[in-house]
Chain A
Amino acid sequence: MALLRRRRVRLRPGPDRRQRQVITPEGVPLPFTIGARGARAAALIIDYVLIVAAMAGLTYLVASLANAVHIKADERNPVGQALVVIWIVIMFLFRHIWFLYFELGPRGATPGKRIVGLRVAARDGGRLTTEAVVARNFLRDIELTLPMIFISTTLAVGEDASFAGWAGTAWFLIFVLFPFCNRDALRAGDVVAGTWVVEAGRDRLKAALSTGAGAQGHSTLTQTRYEFGEAELSVYGEYELQVLERVLRDDNAEAMADVAQAICTKIGWTNGRGDERAFLEAYYTQLRARLERGMRFGQRKADKHS
């Protein structure tokens, strides 16, 4: 697979600033939303809290189990000592096991990320390799755990704490502020591994607005039939159609009344009252039919000004 290009589509500011387009190996651009930096920080904090809780809980369980079976870890008991050694090793590696197990799983997200709605993906649109996940997790140790250990040991030892403490703090700050220095909110681990963290959303398939009694032009309320001619449908473009769709899906009576009023003013009809929903559905369907017909012939009208 050749190296895939990434196009960035800049739309309105806000969450659209975090939109990226990735071209899948099939050649179709898929939009992704980069996870917000605050959300990622929250996910990390939640994960660490869960890890500490799990470690404490498991240690308590194993300790009470050992007590129940009367295994003691003193010098006379090599079995007990061996078990304690194994347990210490597991706890030492626990946070790595946690992150690796969940990020290599089917959801590509640790419980912290799942709660916040994020997951890990490969930046170039291809396969997420195991080596990439391992590399990004290992570098998190360098970024966070190492300076923490460094700072805490120098604080505990107490001698020459000023220089060492400042060095550790500088190290920590460089890596914590790294995601703020690039547009895709990449950690140093993400840069090395070729991954990024994106939002994992879920959409339901909503019913089509253009199938239904109102859409055929018949109003169930007033028994009238709304039909619009070419002149009335040619004023608006795709942008207005999508605004109209949003209004119809939100189903807010006041908004619908306002929009119906605006359309009537524009096309020169007298506005009625009470039947806005059917009117708007009919206008939506016929406008969409017209614009889609134009699309098939390659003529697209982006909005009412074009």
Chain B
Amino acid sequence: MIARWFGKNASQDAAVEAAALRSDRFRQAREGDWQRLETIVTRIEGGRLRKLSDEDLLALPALYRTAISSLAIARETSLDAALIAYLEGLARRAWFAVYGPREGLGAWLKRFFLGGWSAAVRGLGVDLLIALAMMVLGTVVGWLLVSGNPDWYYSLMGSDDVRVPGASREALLHTLFGQQDQTGLSMFAAFLFSNNAQVSLFAFALGFAFGLPSILLLIHNTAGLGALLWLYHGQGLTLELVGWLAIHGTTELFAILLAGGAGIHIGRAMAFPGDAPVLVAAAAAGRRAAQVMVGVVLMLICAAVLEGFGRQLVDSTTVRLAIGGTMLALWLAYFFAWRPARGQAAA
């Protein structure tokens, strides 16, 4: 910068002297820097980052501060409205370039999977336990309701062709094994766009109503599970049912747990915001919960793959239970046992 001051040629000096107004002399002295900043910012906006030389990239923050300070001076000393408008626009564009997001999509995904997601899940804390309690409660409630009065089954699960109270053991057994006529692909696609994905997203979204609808949604959905368990237990097929559900069920139920926990997290932050204003607390909780939910959507895709293909290929209850158990252990280890070094997760 100093060298450029001393290296100015004679014609530039003459032009600067010829300008009668001080504000024009100020402008002509700085115009070169502003043009340079404009070129750099235009290149960045056009996505042509590679074309920028190293000196240009290193000069960007300094040039931005020059433009900002020129703007402050121009506001105080100049009445040239076009100049001030230009400097405001230039400072704005440079501000976007300097204070934009530090990483692109790829870098964020890497940080997400290598510790960001599990940190967000651990940040939910108590809300996960509340959601777990609600899910267990819902299952128990469903079981008790249906065992007291089998008509409750139709309200909880709707009417099915085969899986109704009073079905024979062979009919129920047939639903668990030997469903080879459906192709894995159609089941995968059906699951992906089906009920359970929507339930999870709803459980999160309804967190903004202080978390109560999320709790009710969790209870309502696990009540159906309790009803199903009661039905198969009546024919002595509990273990087979658990195996049938376990392949994708551990992942899917874990995902619903996380979604419910995220909704309760937002709801609790709104109900008990501490020192911050309610909306600020809700926004902070919402950002953490959104991180968890991005992972939940991916977990549900995982569950869809497991349901579509795993269930078709595996026919033995022991193997199904083993797969379900392994998936559960993997998820638990990923979220709670694996804590990568601070530098990696917090970058």
Contact = CB atoms under 8 A, between A and B. Distances in A.
Nearest to B42: A202
A232 to B, nearest CB: 18
Contacts of A242: 79, 81
Interface string B47-78: 10100000000000000010011011000111
B317 interface: no
Interface residues of A, number: 75
A34 B159 CA distance: 52
B144 interface: no
A75 B282 CA distance: 48
Interface stretch (A51-59, A135-143, A219-227, A272-280): A135-143
A134 B291 contact: yes
B79 A238 contact: yes
Interface stretch (B94-102, B128-136, B145-153, B235-243): B94-102
Contact of A88 (B35, B44, B72, B188): B188
Contacts of A216: 20
A74 B72 CA distance: 68
B122 interface: no
A41 interface: no
Nearest to A216: B20
Contacts of B24: 208, 210-211
Interface string A221-240: 00000000000000000100
Given A104-B108, A106-B49, A194-B283, A292 B78 contact: yes
B105 interface: yes
A145 to B, nearest CB: 9
Given A135-B287, A206-B86, A210-B21, A245 B31 contact: no
A139 B286 CA distance: 9
B290 A92 contact: no
A146 B86 CA distance: 43
A191 interface: yes
Contacts of B86: 203-206
Contacts of B193: 149
A31 interface: yes
A9 B44 CA distance: 31
A104 B185 contact: no
Interface stretch (B198-206, B214-222, B248-256): B198-206
Contacts of A296: 77
What's the dominant secondary structure at chain A's contact region?
A: helix
A201 interface: yes
A201 B92 CA distance: 9
A130 B103 contact: yes
B233 interface: no
A209 B19 CA distance: 11
A30 interface: yes
**Which of A26, A130, A188, A246 gathers most chain B CB within 10 Å?**
A130
A192 B287 contact: yes
Given A81-B184, A191-B283, A292-B77, A105 B290 contact: no
Interface residues on B, range: 35 or more
Contact of B101 (A26, A133, A238, A288): A133
Given A28-B68, A130-B103, A249 B82 contact: yes
Contacts of A73: 185
B14 to A, nearest CB: 12
B88 interface: yes
Nearest to B205: A142
B108 A135 contact: no
Interface in A269-306: 285, 288-289, 291-292, 295-296
Interface stretch (A119-127, A251-259, A260-268): A119-127
B293 A138 contact: yes
Nearest to A99: B105
A81 B279 CA distance: 47
A149 B184 contact: no
A101 interface: yes
A97 interface: yes
A106 B81 contact: no
Given A149-B198, A289-B20, A292-B23, A126 B92 contact: no
Contact of B80 (A119, A126, A208): A208
**Which of B79, B102, B103 gathers most chain A CB within 10 Å?**
B79
Nearest to B25: A211
A188 B206 CA distance: 13
Contacts of B79: 238, 241-242, 288, 291-292, 295
Interface in B223-251: none
B88 A128 contact: no
Interface in A10-62: 24-26, 28, 30-32
B301 interface: yes
A108 B86 CA distance: 21
A146 B293 CA distance: 14
Given A194-B283, A211-B20, 16 more contacts: A30-B95, A75-B183, A84-B185, A85-B185, A89-B301, A100-B108, A104-B105, A106-B97, A135-B290, A138-B294, A146-B205, A204-B86, A208-B19, A208-B80, A242-B81, A292-B22
15 contacts: A26-B65, A28-B71, A75-B183, A85-B188, A101-B105, A127-B101, A129-B101, A130-B103, A130-B108, A134-B290, A142-B205, A201-B92, A208-B27, A211-B18, A285-B20
The 7 closest A-B pairs by CB, nearest first: A192-B286, A135-B290, A203-B89, A142-B205, A206-B82, A138-B290, A135-B287
